[in-house]
Amino acid sequence: GGRLRVREALSAQPQGCDVRVQGWVRSVRSQKEVLFLDINDGTSLQNLQVVADPKLESRDLCFGSSVDVQGKLVKSHHRKQNVELQAEDIRVVGSCDSIAFPFKLKERHAADYVRQFPHLRCKTNRFSSLLRIRSEATAAIHSYFQDNGYVHIHTPVISSNDCEGAGELFQVETPSKPSEPGGNSHFFDVPAFLTVSGQLHLEVVAGAFSRVFTFGPTFRAENSQSRRHLAEFYMVEAEISFTESIQDIMQEMENLFKVATAAILSRCHEDVELFHKYVAPGHKDKLDHMLKNKFVIMSYSEAIEVLKKAPEVFSFKPEWGCDLQKEHEKYLVKHCANIPVFVINYPYDLKPFYARDNVDGPQHTVAAVDLLVPEVGELYGGSLREERLHILQSRLDRLGLLDTYQWYLELRQFGTVPHGGFGMGFERYLQCILGVDNIKDVIPFPRFSHSCLL
Ligand code: 4AD
Ligand code: MG
């Protein structure tokens, strides 16, 4: 018979046609007259029920084993499904040692238990749903940009710049040759790092294309085991030329969030529902609330005033000029009725060299923006970029970076335009829409300080 994936079989007409389905056994129930199997192949959260003669049962046919089933697709009497597979032959492709297998039938395992088995966790319902959502989310984000006139750019993974200037770079090393005493460190003798952001490369391209984006892995040598930091994460970055103000950037940040989320909710409804029902009950309402409200805009100075007046006692006392801590971010979002909040116009000294100077007196600020969301905190960072040659030149000069960024200055010399952009942490985005508490549970193979399993 024709081969079908589980998803195809579930939506096929049960007309008794011969089919063949391959997958992994999610449950086995053996009764006197009949043997029931549930099989899954990752194409759907729902399993395909297989009904068989008990004499097709074997010791090797157990929870976790892989099977190749031939039979007929017939109408099911089960109220939850339309079709079932009446097996004529069941071949066990690979058995599963159920004693040693870390997951047990019908048990719901805690996320931190499942996380110990990065090589096996995609066999659980929750993690296979997550991977399908991650795939759809990737597609939805690409569609958003392609539909809105952005050109996709592959920015490099190996880079010579520290875009964020935070010194969180992983250095790239080529192997040293015994014939060369002392070895040749770095990238064939020149310094090179894993990228912390594709922004500066996007700015290059935005100097000729008005709207560009990239979506790839980024790396931060942050010695953090927190629930929202990874050493390797995916970032969605956009750069827009001919901007009028920071509002243009915020509008795109908000649109991307809302349009991509709506697409994901409609395209993987069942998988998202699993999270909203079992992983983070109540999260659906919180997300709907974020989607239907216009995001709040607040200046950094206002944010500091709000924090100073807060009845809460913070471990870091809020003062104008200090970075917002996680506790501050949480309070601000709560203060804004759990609607995502844009904080704009940060102190000059808090943001990297590229941020556009507001030239605004003693409380000197730049046109930078962070988007804060419930639970996760900072989801996006963005800014207008300094497009004025002389202002940028003197800032780089004071930082001792004139030589390093000669090429970046030249972008301001040859047809400069007001422009800006943003970066969104893709894993934090998934946490935010699904209600997942730990960032390590939204990426297939998490890398963080002291941990690189597999
Ligand atoms: O705020 P960041 O550092 O901004 C930039 O890198 C800009 N150059 C982006 C741009 O304008 N093109 O990082 C952007 C986002 C953060 O808001 C956060 O969501 C995420 O990336 N992020 C991390 N996610 C997981 N683990 C980490 N260690 C992260 N560091 C940043
Ligand atoms: Mg940031």
Ligand in nearest proximity to the CA of 249: 1
Polymer length of the chain: 454
- pLDDT for the residue 401: 95
Which among 343, 357, 345, 350 is positioned nearest to 385, based on CA atoms? 357
Are the C-beta atoms of 388 and 412 separated by less than 8 Å? yes
Determine which residue's CA is closest to atom 11 belonging to ligand 1.
422
Determine which residue's CA is closest to atom 2 belonging to ligand 1.
381
Which residue among 145, 235, 369, 378 has the greatest number of ligand 1 atoms within 8 angstroms of its CB, and so is best to mutate?
Answer: 235
- pLDDT for the residue 25: 97
- 244-293, pLDDT tens digit by residue? 999 999 999 999 999 999 999 999 999 999 999 999 999 999 999 999 99
- 370 CA → ligand 2 middle, Å: 7
Nearest-atom number in ligand 1 for the CA of 439 is 25
Contacts 24+ apart (CB under 8 A), 69-72: 69/20, 69/21, 69/22, 69/37, 69/39, 70/1, 70/18, 70/19, 70/20, 71/1, 71/18, 71/19, 72/1, 72/16, 72/17, 72/18, 72/19
- 28 CA → ligand 1 middle, Å: 45
Determine which residue's CA is closest to atom 22 belonging to ligand 1.
425
- 258 CA → ligand 2 middle, Å: 20
- pLDDT for the residue 183: 54
Which residue among 162, 214, 233, 369 has the greatest number of ligand 1 atoms within 8 angstroms of its CB, and so is best to mutate?
Answer: 233
Ligand in nearest proximity to the CA of 423: 1
- pLDDT for the residue 178: 65
Domain ranges in the chain? 2-101, 121-441
Quote the tokens at residue 100: 């040693």
- pLDDT for the residue 107: 86
Determine which residue's CA is closest to atom 24 belonging to ligand 1.
425
Are the C-beta atoms of 25 and 35 separated by less than 8 Å? no
User: What residues in the chain have per-residue pLDDT under 50?
Assistant: none
- 370 CA → ligand 1 middle, Å: 10
- Taking CB atoms and a 6 Å cutoff, what residues make up the pocket around ligand 1? 163-164, 197, 199, 220, 222, 229-230, 233, 235, 237, 378-382, 421-425, 427-428
Ligand in nearest proximity to the CA of 355: 1
- pLDDT for the residue 179: 66
Rounded to 10 degrees, the C-alpha dihedral 37/267/275/132 comes to 60
Which residue among 428, 442, 448 has the greatest number of ligand 1 atoms within 8 angstroms of its CB, and so is best to mutate?
Answer: 428
- pLDDT for the residue 180: 64
The complex's ipTM works out to 0.99
- 180 CA → ligand 1 middle, Å: 39
Ligand in nearest proximity to the CA of 232: 1
Determine which residue's CA is closest to atom 18 belonging to ligand 1.
425
Instruction: Scan for tokens 């990874």, then name that residue.
Output: 230
Determine which residue's CA is closest to atom 23 belonging to ligand 1.
425
Amino acid identity of 170?
Answer: F
Which among 437, 421, 414, 349 is positioned nearest to 381, based on CA atoms? 421
Protein residues with C-beta less than 5 angstroms from the ion ligand 2: 381
- 69 CA → ligand 1 middle, Å: 47
Model pTM score: 0.96
- 382 CA → ligand 2 middle, Å: 8
Nearest-atom number in ligand 1 for the CA of 198 is 12
- 381 CA → ligand 2 middle, Å: 5
- 227 CA → ligand 1 middle, Å: 15
Instruction: Scan for tokens 């909040």, then name that residue.
Output: 341
- 345-376, pLDDT tens digit by residue? 999 999 999 999 999 989 999 999 999 999 99
Nearest-atom number in ligand 1 for the CA of 421 is 11
Domain 2-101 CATH class label: mainly beta
CA–CA separation, 424 vs 306, rounded Å? 25
- 237 CA → ligand 2 middle, Å: 13
Which CATH architecture fits 121-441? 2-Layer Sandwich (3.30)
